[in-house]
Amino acid sequence: MKLFVPCDNCGGKTYLSALAKTRLELSYMYGTEFNVNCSHCSNLNYLHINQVAAEASSNKTFLSGGGIGGIVGILGGPFGILLGAVVGGAVGGAVGNKSEQDSVRRFNNNYLQ
């Protein structure tokens, strides 16, 4: 899951380096109000923690699932490696993406008072 803030000036997304799973956890790192320079236009944005949004990361769960499937597939020779990587990636990606989508939805739907 990646956290970002929209720029008031250009609308671009500036990604935060924080690995928080909730806004409360993020507020311990940044406070409830903070400044961020836009990574696109360098505009200084004064933000409230409730303006932070989350989105799913690219496909790291698919890659890790593929790696695990590939290791297991070694037992079946070259064809087993290929088949294990494809099946392991698909299963790992599906499970990981659902979990990540749930985390994104929880973050985006819960605001601090």
Q: Is the pTM of this model over 0.85?
A: no
Q: Is the pLDDT of residue 57 over 50?
A: yes
Closest residue by Cα to residue 5 from 41, 42, 49: 49
Tally the C-alpha atoms within 13 A of residue 99's C-alpha that lie toward its C-beta: 11
Q: What is the pLDDT of residues 66-79, one digit of tens each?
A: 555 555 555 666 66
Q: What percent of the chain has pLDDT over 70?
A: 66
Burial of 69 (0-12, 13-18, 19+ CB in 10 A): buried
Per-residue pLDDT tens over the stretch 9-56: 999 999 999 999 999 999 999 999 999 999 999 999 999 999 999 999
For residue 20, what are the CA distances in angstroms to 17, 25, 34, 110, 112?
9, 6, 16, 13, 14
Domain ranges of the chain: 2-55, 60-109
